Amino acid sequence: MTSYNPLHDPEKDAHPVVPALEQAIDRARKVLAEKTPANIHDKDEMIRAAYGLHYVLTDLLAALDAKRGERR
């Protein structure tokens, strides 16, 4: 057992619905724009940015895999 909580646990954090690719791209762009001005010296802002970007990147990759007919 780890002494920390990982950013992502595939067994607990699986996304049951894969978004359409265009939706995933739009959401990734929106979140990236929202997180860009985050203060790199603010730990809480960096945690929120990392989690938000991780979440949309996971969706984006799942949508790309689905578009190619792959399943992970």
The per-residue pLDDT for range 57-72, each reduced to its tens digit, is 999 999 999 999 876 5
**Angle, nearest 10°, between helix axes 21-35 and 43-67?**
160
The answer to whether residue 61 is domain-embedded is yes
Residue 3: the pLDDT is: 81
Residue 9: the pLDDT is: 72
The answer to whether residue 60 is domain-embedded is yes
Query: Which domain covers residue 69, as residue numbers?
Result: 39-72
Backbone angles phi, psi at 11, to 5 degrees: -75, -30
The answer to whether residue 30 is domain-embedded is no
Residue 4: the pLDDT is: 76
The answer to whether residue 43 is domain-embedded is yes
Number of domains in the chain: 1
The answer to whether residue 13 is domain-embedded is no
Residue 6: the pLDDT is: 74
pLDDT digits (tens, 9 = 90+) for 1-56: 568 777 667 677 666 789 999 999 999 999 999 999 999 999 999 999 999 999 99
